[in-house]
Amino acid sequence: MMKGKVTIKAYLSVETLIIKVSDNGSGMDATTLEGLQKKLAEDDSLPGGKNIGIKNVHDRIRLHFGEEYGLEM
């Protein structure tokens, strides 16, 4: 039985803090990933559906720190 593993790495790139979170799960297929990236890029996505928490965190980071910040998948 393989247990789940989450890895968190943080480093400075120029003057930007990069935080990478990864796990050893099965991941997501290319279509799902593309849809999630599209949703993050939309200025006004309608509430509801999957990944609303991820979109909310992304939008709050951008609101607080600026448009060049946020989440990447």
pLDDT band at residue 6 using 50, 70 and 90 as cut-offs: very high
Assigned domain for 9 exists: no
CB 73 within 8 A of CB 36: yes
| Least confident stretch, 16-25, 46-55, 60-69 | 46-55
Tell me: the pLDDT tens digits for 33-62? 888 888 888 766 555 666 678 888 899 999
Count structural domains, the chain. 1
Percent of the chain with pLDDT over 90: 32
Structural domain boundaries, residue 53:
28-73
Residue 20 resides in a domain: no
Please tell me the total number of residues recorded for the chain in this structure. 73
Whether 52 is in a domain gets the answer yes
Q: What pTM, to 2 d.p., does this model score? A: 0.68
CA distance linking residue 1 with residue 33, whole number of Å: 27
Asked if the structure places residue 58 within a domain, the reply is yes
| Residue 4: how many other CB atoms lie within 10 Å | 7
State the pLDDT confidence band at 1, using cuts at 50, 70 and 90. low
Beta bridge partners of 17: 12
**Would 49 be classed as within a structural domain?**
yes
Containing 11, the helix (H) or strand (E) segment is strand 6-13
Whole-number percent of the chain with pLDDT over 70: 85
